Amino acid sequence: MKRARLSTLILVGLMLGIAVGYCLNALIPAGSGHKEVAGYFSMLAEIFLRLIKMILAPLVFAGIVTGMMGSEGPKEVGRLGLKAMVWFVTASVCSLVLGVILANAYSLGSSMPLPQNGTHTDIGTGSLSLKAFVTHMVPQSAIFAMSQNDIIAIVVFAIFFGFALSALRKLEPTAAVLAQSIEGVLKTMLRLTQYVMFFAPIGVFGATAAAIMEHGIGVIAIYGKFIGATYSGFAILFVLLVAAGYVFLRRDVFRLLSLMRTPMLIGFSTSSSEAAFPKMLEQLTKLGIPERITTLILPLGYSFNADGVMMYQAFATVFLLQAYHIHLSLIRQIGMLLVMLIASKGAAGVPRASLVVVASTLPMFGIPIEGLAILLAADTFIDMGRTVVNLTGNGIATAAVAKWEERRVPANLTTHVE
């Protein structure tokens, strides 16, 4: 299936999902099974996400190991990792600062209704800490890490495995055969990814219809200002990311955005960066970026470089400060930024990670945890835009790091847009 055709079908699925969800929400009386009916639609999205999760672990593992077979070894991996982390930290800080500036400028918190004490938000933060994240990076069991689709743990194991296989393949014939077999696994997984993408329009339709059916268009009107302000922040951050990419890639950044249309649509419709990962990997390779770079940097970005999440965390926390009329000095707000920057690294792989980090940060600044109820009502729709910004940031970061490797990447990345 050509990319343009798939993008069109995904967009059709998105529009149909909105239309069907709106009609059913209007036709079925409130309290008469909205959630139950929405569950049938969300089943389609769940099947699609399960298909993606089915291929994710072997794709990441085989991609990293195969990429390391063509690398110079630990020196190149370390160099690429360092460059990636410089980009990730810089982008994270800029995203957080932008969120704080916008939240203070809009000052919308005071006009929002506050939840009653005791409102249950069903978001756990007990295990969220930098210490837990750092120790969690090293898997106790590679098989368990793969069964849980724990991206960062899989990356760590794959890097160690790749080092060992690189050292042995020139000495042991069986190691050379194993290296060729893993390369074959990667090619097979990439082909399987194409088959899985055939189901993407159906999954997108189900996810969108379920969200509109359950929550209704009304939630957008009720929280319209908050959602609109957040999306304006995402738009500004998107432009800044593209501008940063232009510094490294020049006009190739626009080719990159063209290639990322399908992953963006998948991410927007499903609110899942994981769902877009296989297609992101494929499209970045089409840009001319070596697989050894895409298969290393992109998984790292999923764990360390969630630009949309960073901005939303700062925006949401300042918003709640205003809602509860809690005034913090600029120094305290800077401290809040640092806390969220560190805490976010402990939320990698956690469902609804941005809300988890916000929840873990609220008590530090005297904000009642019940404040999350304000955010939960609109989070389904905000998460769509947040995912697109995350994907954009990771795509541009991967391409920029590749361009940074000028000795190994052609001066002008080229692509053939289908």
What residue type is 146 in one-letter code? M
**213 near 363, Cβ under 8 Å?**
no
CA distance 213 to 217: 8
- Which residues are CB-contacts of 330 (< 8 A; sequence separation ≥ 6)? none
What residue segments make up the domains of the chain, in order of their start? 3-404
Least confident of 186-190, 224-228, 254-258: 224-228
The helix-helix angle for 200-215 and 261-270 (nearest 10°) equals 40
According to DSSP, residue 411 is labeled S
Q: Which of 52-56, 111-115, 118-122, 240-244 has the highest mean pLDDT?
A: 240-244
| 168's tokens | 């042995």
- If one counts every other C-beta atom within 10 angstroms of the C-beta of residue 56, the result is 21
Phi, psi of 406 (to 5 degrees): -60, -30
Which residue is listed with tokens 């070894």?
A: 73
According to DSSP, residue 114 is labeled P
**Residue 411: per-residue pLDDT:** 44
Band of pLDDT at residue 360, cut at 50, 70 and 90: low
Please state which CATH number belongs to domain 3-404.
1.10.3860.10
Q: Give percent above pLDDT 70 in the chain.
A: 75
**399 near 258, Cβ under 8 Å?**
no
Query: Is 50 exceeded by the pLDDT of residue 277?
Result: yes
Instruction: Give 69-110 pLDDT, tens digit per residue.
Output: 766 566 777 788 788 888 988 998 888 888 888 888 888 776
What residue type is 7 in one-letter code? S
- 347 or 312, greater pLDDT: 312
**345 near 152, Cβ under 8 Å?**
no
CA distance 82 to 370: 39
Q: Model pTM?
A: 0.71
**Residue 31: per-residue pLDDT:** 62
**Residue 244: per-residue pLDDT:** 93
Band of pLDDT at residue 343, cut at 50, 70 and 90: low
